[in-house]
Structure 1
Amino acid sequence: MRHSDWEKRFVAVTERHLNTPCVWGKSDCLLTVADAVEAITGTDPAADIRGKYRSMTGAYKLIKARGFSDVASVLAGQFEEIAPALAQRGDIGVYEKTAGYFCEYGFAVKGDDGLRFIPRTMAERAFKVA
């Protein structure tokens, strides 16, 4: 269920990550998406993995140790998959093995130096955040 003031909280996540560089285990693509989900629902889906890895290799080792094959399967394990064309603001997805979220600027993905916004039609998979 969406938090009563989710929109305000969601915008704050985008503003916070706009110029925050990617730091594995602190501010990478999955944790940025988890921040967006927490803003919307009030629950952090990544609370148990924050700070438990410090590199891309470490992140993928953790993903595999938890029984997932990639970032998309992590999201699919927690959220209902929907057609990307049906994704709404606040839903999450994947573009080229990178987790992101749908927002007013398109599809937000974490880059080396902060958020990048690509056309929402470029998202390859999408998942509903209720």
Structure 2
Amino acid sequence: MNRFRIVEATLARELAQPYAYGTADCFMLGCAFIDALTGWPFADKYRGAYRTLAGAQRALRRRGHKSLVSFFAAELGQEPKGGAEARLGDLVILRLVDGAEHVGICLGARFVTKTERGRSDHALADVIAAFHLG
């Protein structure tokens, strides 16, 4: 299956799941893409590690990170890139209007994340870091 089909299928599958912290949120969306595009069993490593937003923040700090950027840089073994370098299916960190960091996916000219209200599309200006997958 080519990259476009993998991205399309993974995004559809993840967005179809009702939002739930630790199993079907923006972080797990990113984990699903890591699994799909690299073949690593990444999602299983973190699934269920938290159940609330506060729990997610505690889990991040427990692992020695203050931000999603430093977490993914360490886990993926790469320096973060600028949003303009993101390719289809790459993982991005978005800073949204609420000031919080969200994990998203590059869809070319736009970036998508999963929120409690469902799919949320964003522009390049919201991307604070990108990580190549696959």
TM-score by length of 2: 0.83
- Provide the residue aligned with 2:115 in structure 1: 111
State the Cα distance separating 1:104 from its structure 2 match.
Answer: 4.4
State the Cα distance separating 1:19 from its structure 2 match.
Answer: 4.3
- After TM superposition, the runs of 4+ consecutive aligned structure 1 residues lying more than 6 A away are none
Instruction: Quote the Cα distance in structure 1 between the aligned partners of 2:103 and 2:65.
Output: 14
Task: List runs of 5+ in structure 2 lacking aligned partners.
Answer: 96-100
Aligned residues: 127
Quick one: which of 12, 17, 21 aligns to 1:20? 17
Q: CA RMSD in A?
A: 1.9
Task: Answer 1 or 2: which has greater helix percent.
Answer: 2
Residues 1-130 of structure 1 aligned to structure 2 (within 5 Å): 5-79=2-76, 80=78, 81-96=80-95, 97-104=101-108, 106-130=110-134
SS in 2 for 1:98: strand
TM-score by length of 1: 0.85
Tell whether the 8 Å contact from 1:24 to 1:53 is kept in structure 2 after alignment: yes
State the Cα distance separating 1:27 from its structure 2 match.
Answer: 0.7
Instruction: Quote the Cα distance in structure 2 between the aligned partners of 1:44 and 1:59.
Output: 20
What is the identity percentage for the equivalent residue pairs of Structure 1 and Structure 2?
24
